[in-house]
C-alpha cells in the first residue's frame, strides 16, 4: 500500500481546499483576523486530521455529505442551533449584569471534539460531552453528567453550572466530580455532576456550561444528550471499545471474527471509538455501521498532546500501559456508558481481542439468566440485582497454537477457532458486564463507582469466562490447556466470516 503522505488522492486535495476555504471565509468574518475558531480552527491546525477523517469517520464521509455530517457530529457536542457569532439568541432570558449567552467567538475548542474552561490561575479543564441522568436509583435526580479531563487530582475552581432551558439561563452548583483513577497520573478523567433545580425536574436542559465564577461568560457550551429507545424498551447488550490505534497494522480479519462472534452471542451493538485505523479496518467498520451493528465515533486526545497523523500512534505506544494511557482509555469507556445507559440493560467494556465465551452453547443473555438463578441462593444478593457481573479470563495465543500446528478442518485464517490452547483461567484477569441502572463510573475491568454500594457477582467459570486472544503471552505462561469450547460455534462463525469477507470485498486482500 502506498505511503499516505505520498499518495495525494483527489480526496486529500479536496480536503486541503476545504480547509483553505474555511480559512478565507472565517478570516473575512473575524473582526480582527486573529482568532480562528470552532471546528475549522482545529482542522487548520492539524491538516492530518482532515486526511485521517476523509472516508474514515462520520466527520467527512465518502458520500459527499461533508457539511451535513459535520453538523451531525457537532450537534451531539454542542447546540449549534442556539449559537451565533454575535452571541444573541431570540428570547434569551439572562439576569442583568450577569453572564451572557456565549457566542461562537467566546467558545474555546480543543482538538475538534473538546471544549475548554481556563481558570483565573491559568489551569485548563477539558470537556467532551454532557448527558442527562434521571435513573430511578439515584438519590438526587435528575442531574447532568459531563465527561472531562484535567491534569490535577481535584477540581477546586469549578463551582458553577449554567443550565439552559429553552434559552433561559438557570444557575446550579457543581455537586460532585467522580474520578475513575486511584493512581498518580499526568491527566485525570472526571465525571462532573450538575444538579437540576427541583422546579425544573421535568424538563431536560438543552445545554450546559461550566464556569469558575457564577456570572462568568462561559467558554464552553455542551449539548445535553438524552438517548432513549424510540419504543421505550431497552435492548439487552452493548459493547464499548476504547479508541482504536492501528494506522499501519491491518487487524480487519480479527475484527470481523470478533464482530460476528458477538452477533452469534446475541450482542446488539458494538460502539467503537477510533483514533486512526488501517483502511481495511475502516471499510469493515463502515460496512457494519451501515447495517446497524456498529457505531463508530472519532476521537482525539485533549490538551497539548499530539494529534498529528503518526504522532498519536507513537505517543500512545510510548505510554504503552502507563497510567496516562489508562486515562485516555477510560474517556471513551465512560462516554460510551453514559451515551447508552438508557438504551441497553447491560454494557460490556472490552477490547476487540477479548470476548465473554459462554459454555454449553449459551448466549450472553443465557449467562445472565443462569447467573441470576445462582444469585438467588446467595444472601448478599437477596432482593437486589448485581451492579456488575464479573468474569475471570484466560489467554489464548498464536504462540500456543504454533506449537501444536494448524487444524486442517478449520480455515487457516480463522484465528479464533485455530487458537484453542490457553493458560489456566486467572482470578487476577477480569472483565465485567455492567448493570446500566447501577453504575456511575467505569474502568477497563470493573465498575469504579456505583449508585449506592457496588454489588459484584463473580460468574462461575463453568457458566462463562473471558477469552483473550493475543499474538503472544505477555508473561511466563505455563500449564497450557486445550480448550475447544469455541468450536460450538465453529460452522456458523466460519460461514459468517467468509460471507463478510465476500460482501466487503476483502477476500482477495486478506486471504492469500
d(CA 411, CA 493): 11
Same domain assignment for residues 97 and 24: no
Q: Is 361 left (phi over 0), alpha (psi -120 to 50) or beta?
A: left
Q: Is the pTM of this model over 0.95?
A: no
Is the pLDDT at 51 greater than 50? The verdict is: no
Give pLDDT tens digits for 345-403.
Answer: 999 999 999 999 999 999 999 999 998 877 655 545 556 789 999 999 999 988 877 77
Q: Is residue 205 part of a domain?
A: yes
Same domain assignment for residues 112 and 18: no
405: confidence class by pLDDT, cuts 50, 70, 90: confident
Same domain assignment for residues 430 and 321: yes
Q: Is residue 509 part of a domain?
A: no
DSSP 8-class letter at 443: -
Q: Is residue 511 part of a domain?
A: no
Same domain assignment for residues 12 and 103: no
Same domain assignment for residues 66 and 172: no
Can you give the CATH number for the domain in which 194 is found?
Answer: 2.60.40
Q: Is residue 221 part of a domain?
A: yes
Q: Is residue 43 part of a domain?
A: yes
Is the pLDDT at 296 greater than 50? The verdict is: yes
Mean pLDDT of 406-434: 92
Structural domain ending residue among the three candidates 226, 256, 271: 226
Q: Is residue 210 part of a domain?
A: yes
Same domain assignment for residues 174 and 62: no
Same domain assignment for residues 248 and 318: yes
306: confidence class by pLDDT, cuts 50, 70, 90: confident
For the chain, the domain total comes to: 3
**Cell 483527489, residue located:** 10
Same domain assignment for residues 42 and 93: no
Same domain assignment for residues 84 and 65: no
Is the pLDDT at 334 greater than 70? The verdict is: yes
Structural domain ending residue among the three candidates 53, 75, 97: 75
DSSP 8-class letter at 93: B
Structural domain ending residue among the three candidates 226, 257, 284: 226
Cβ–Cβ under 8 Å, residues 432 and 348 = yes
316: confidence class by pLDDT, cuts 50, 70, 90: confident
Query: What pLDDT is stored for residue 187 in this prediction?
Result: 84
CA distances, 464 to each of 247, 349, 485, 488, 490 (Å): 33, 16, 10, 13, 17
Average pLDDT, the chain: 81
6: confidence class by pLDDT, cuts 50, 70, 90: very low
Which residue would you say has higher pLDDT here, 168 or 475? 168
d(CA 98, CA 82): 19
d(CA 306, CA 294): 27
Burial class (CB in 10 A: 0-12, 13-18, 19+), 453: exposed
Grid cell listed for 269: 451493538
Cα angle: 397, vertex 401, 404; to 5 degrees = 155
d(CA 130, CA 216): 20
Cα angle: 11, vertex 17, 22; to 5 degrees = 125
Residue-range definition of the domain harbouring residue 387: 235-503
Which residue would you say has higher pLDDT here, 88 or 303? 303
Same domain assignment for residues 478 and 450: yes
Same domain assignment for residues 174 and 316: no
Burial class (CB in 10 A: 0-12, 13-18, 19+), 50: buried
86-89, long-range: CB < 8 A, 24+ apart:
89/167
Mean pLDDT of 402-425: 88
Give pLDDT tens digits for 437-464.
Answer: 999 999 988 899 999 999 999 999 999 9
Mean pLDDT of 315-339: 88
Same domain assignment for residues 285 and 371: yes
Percent of all residues in the chain with a pLDDT value above 70, rounded to a whole number: 77
Q: Is residue 71 part of a domain?
A: yes
Q: Is residue 512 part of a domain?
A: no
Can you give the CATH number for the domain in which 275 is found?
Answer: 3.90.550
Cβ–Cβ under 8 Å, residues 465 and 430 = no
Greatest mean pLDDT range, 12-26, 62-76, 224-238: 224-238
Grid cell listed for 23: 480559512
Which residue would you say has higher pLDDT here, 16 or 340? 340
Looking from the CA of 472 toward its CB, the CA atoms found within 13 Å total: 3
Amino acid at each position: 500500500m502506498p505511503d499516505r503522505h505520498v499518495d495525494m488522492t483527489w480526496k486529500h486535495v479536496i480536503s486541503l481546499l476545504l480547509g483553505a476555504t474555511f480559512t478565507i471565509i472565517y478570516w473575512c468574518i473575524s473582526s480582527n483576523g486573529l482568532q480562528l475558531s470552532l471546528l475549522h480552527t482545529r482542522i487548520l491546525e492539524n491538516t492530518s486530521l482532515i486526511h485521517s477523517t476523509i472516508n474514515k469517520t462520520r466527520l467527512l464521509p465518502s458520500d459527499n455529505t461533508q457539511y451535513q455530517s459535520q453538523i451531525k457530529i457537532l450537534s451531539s457536542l454542542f447546540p449549534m442551533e442556539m449559537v451565533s457569532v454575535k452571541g444573541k439568541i431570540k428570547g434569551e432570558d439572562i439576569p442583568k449584569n450577569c453572564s451572557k449567552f456565549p457566542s461562537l467567538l467566546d467558545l474555546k475548542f480543543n482538538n475538534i471534539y473538546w471544549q475548554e474552561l481556563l481558570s483565573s490561575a491559568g489551569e485548563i479543564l477539558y470537556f467532551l460531552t454532557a448527558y442527562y441522568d434521571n435513573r430511578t436509583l439515584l438519590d438526587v435526580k435528575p442531574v447532568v453528567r459531563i465527561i472531562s479531563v484535567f491534569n490535577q487530582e481535584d477540581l477546586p475552581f469549578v463551582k458553577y453550572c449554567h443550565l439552559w432551558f429553552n434559552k433561559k439561563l438557570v444557575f446550579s452548583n457543581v455537586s460532585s466530580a467522580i474520578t475513575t483513577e486511584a493512581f498518580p497520573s499526568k491527566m485525570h478523567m472526571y465525571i462532573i455532576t450538575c444538579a437540576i433545580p427541583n422546579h425544573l425536574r421535568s424538563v431536560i436542559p438543552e445545554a450546559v456550561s461550566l464556569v469558575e465564577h457564577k456570572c462568568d461568560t462561559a467558554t464552553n457550551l455542551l449539548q445535553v444528550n438524552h438517548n432513549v429507545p424510540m419504543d421505550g424498551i431497552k435492548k439487552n447488550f452493548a459493547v464499548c471499545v476504547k479508541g482504536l490505534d492501528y494506522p499501519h497494522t491491518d487487524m480487519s480479519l480479527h475484527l470481523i471474527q470478533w464482530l460476528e462472534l458477538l452477533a452469534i452471542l446475541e450482542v446488539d451493538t458494538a460502539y467503537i471509538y477510533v483514533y486512526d485505523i488501517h483502511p481495511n479496518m475502516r471499510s469493515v467498520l463502515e460496512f457494519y455501521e451501515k447495517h446497524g451493528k456498529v457505531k463508530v465515533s472519532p476521537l482525539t486526545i485533549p490538551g497539548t498532546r499530539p494529534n498529528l497523523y503518526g504522532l498519536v500512534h507513537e505517543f500512545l505506544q510510548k505510554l504503552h500501559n502507563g497510567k496516562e494511557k489508562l486515562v485516555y482509555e477510560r474517556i471513551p469507556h465512560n462516554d460510551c456508558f453514559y451515551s447508552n445507559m438508557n438504551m441497553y440493560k447491560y454494557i460490556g467494556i472490552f477490547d476487540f481481542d477479548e470476548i465473554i465465551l459462554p459454555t454449553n452453547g449459551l448466549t450472553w443473555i443465557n449467562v445472565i439468566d443462569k447467573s441470576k438463578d445462582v444469585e438467588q441462593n446467595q444472601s448478599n444478593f437477596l432482593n437486589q440485582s448485581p451492579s456488575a457481573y464479573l468474569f475471570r479470563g484466560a489467554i489464548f495465543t498464536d504462540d500456543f497454537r504454533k506449537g501444536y500446528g494448524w487444524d486442517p478442518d478449520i480455515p487457516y485464517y480463522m484465528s479464533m477457532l485455530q487458537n484453542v490452547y490457553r493458560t489456566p483461567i486467572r482470578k487476577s484477569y477480569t472483565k465485567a458486564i455492567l448493570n446500566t441502572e447501577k453504575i456511575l463510573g467505569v474502568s477497563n475491568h470493573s465498575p469504579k463507582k456505583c449508585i449506592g454500594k457496588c454489588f459484584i457477582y463473580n460468574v462461575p467459570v463453568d457458566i462463562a469466562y473471558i477469552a483473550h486472544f493475543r499474538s503472544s503471552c505477555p508473561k511466563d505462561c505455563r500449564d497450557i490447556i486445550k480448550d475447544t469450547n469455541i468450536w460450538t460455534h465453529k460452522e456458523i462463525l466460519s460461514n459468517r466470516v467468509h460471507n463478510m469477507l465476500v460482501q466487503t470485498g476483502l477476500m482477495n486482500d486478506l486471504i492469500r
